[in-house]
Amino acid sequence: MTDQNILIENLYFYLIGTNNTDNGFRIQVGNRPGFDVEPTFSGDELTGVNVSNLGNYPHIPIRALTETIRHLFAQPNHSAIKGDAMNGRLGDELLPLDSVEGHIAHTIYGVEEGEYAFRRITPISRILEAAGVVSIENGYLLLR
C-alpha cells in the first residue's frame, strides 16, 4: 500500500469513526463558529459529507476529498496553493488549475477555464486537516 492510500484510509476512518451520532460532528475554524459535518452513506458505502456552511449545495462527494489527497500527492513537496474561488475564475492567477480549489472545481465539478467555481476549499481543507491528512499553511495545503 502506498502512502497515498494510507492517507485516504485515514480519511475514511476519521469520517466513519466520528459519525457515531445522527448529527455528525462539528469542525471549528479558528475563532469563527465553524461548521457541522454529516457523513453521507449509500447503504454501508461512504458517499461524501454534507456541510452546514455551503448553503443550498451542502454535499461534498467523497471523491472531492480523495482527489485532493491524490492531487497533493502528485505535486512537488506534496503541497499546493488552496486557490480563491471567491475572487477568481478558473485558470486565472487567483484560481489556477493546479491549485486545490481549481483542480477540484475542474476535475470533480466540471468547471471550465474562465468560469466561476463554487467555493469549497474551507470545508475540504478543514475536514482533511481534522482527519490528520493535511496541514494548512498560509494559503497552501501540505500532506502530512
Instruction: Tell me if 113 sits within 8 A of 90, measured CB to CB.
Output: yes
Note down pLDDT in tens along the chain; length 144 residues.
347 778 888 888 778 776 555 567 777 666 677 888 888 889 888 899 999 988 899 999 999 999 999 999 999 899 999 999 999 999 999 999 999 999 999 999 999 999 999 989 999 999 999 889 999 999 999 998
Q: What is the pTM of this model?
A: 0.89
**Cell triple for residue 9?**
484510509
Domain extent listing, the chain: 3-139
Q: What does the alpha-carbon distance between residue 144 and residue 136 come to, in Å, rounded to a whole number?
A: 10
